[in-house]
Amino acid sequence: MGLTVFVVLVVLAAGAEALLPRRNRPAPEIAEPEDLSFVLRSGLAPIRGYAEILGDRVSGDDDRRMIRAIEHHADRLTVLADRLRTERA
């Protein structure tokens, strides 16, 4: 189970890295808040889905605590994404 959580976190980190500028490529244009909201929500959907699937499969208290932590942080990021989208409206 610990390996599964690690894999989910690596996938999340890789997605976040894709948003960061690289040294040898031109700086990306600043995206509109609606675009950033879409990117965040698109990345959070599979994380939330995988956490739900893992939550159904685990039995240990420590594993369940880790799944709840992933779901909690995904919910927090979803709230931030929603705020980005509504601030421009």
Rounded distance between C-alpha atoms, residue 81 and residue 20, angstroms: 17
> Which residue type is seen at 19?
L
User: What pLDDT shows up at residue 21?
Assistant: 56
Which pLDDT belongs to residue 1? Answer: 56
What b/e sequence results for 38-74 when a residue is b if at least 16 CB atoms lie within 10 Å of its CB, and e otherwise?
Answer: ebbbebbeebbebbeebeeebeeeebeebbeebbeeb
pLDDT at 8: 65
Strands (DSSP E) contained in 4-62 are none
Helices and strands (H, E) in the chain, number of each type: 3, 0
pLDDT by residue (tens digit) across 19-67? 555 566 565 565 676 778 888 888 888 888 988 988 888 888 988 898 8
pTM above 0.75, yes or no: no
Residue 6 has pLDDT above 60, yes or no: yes
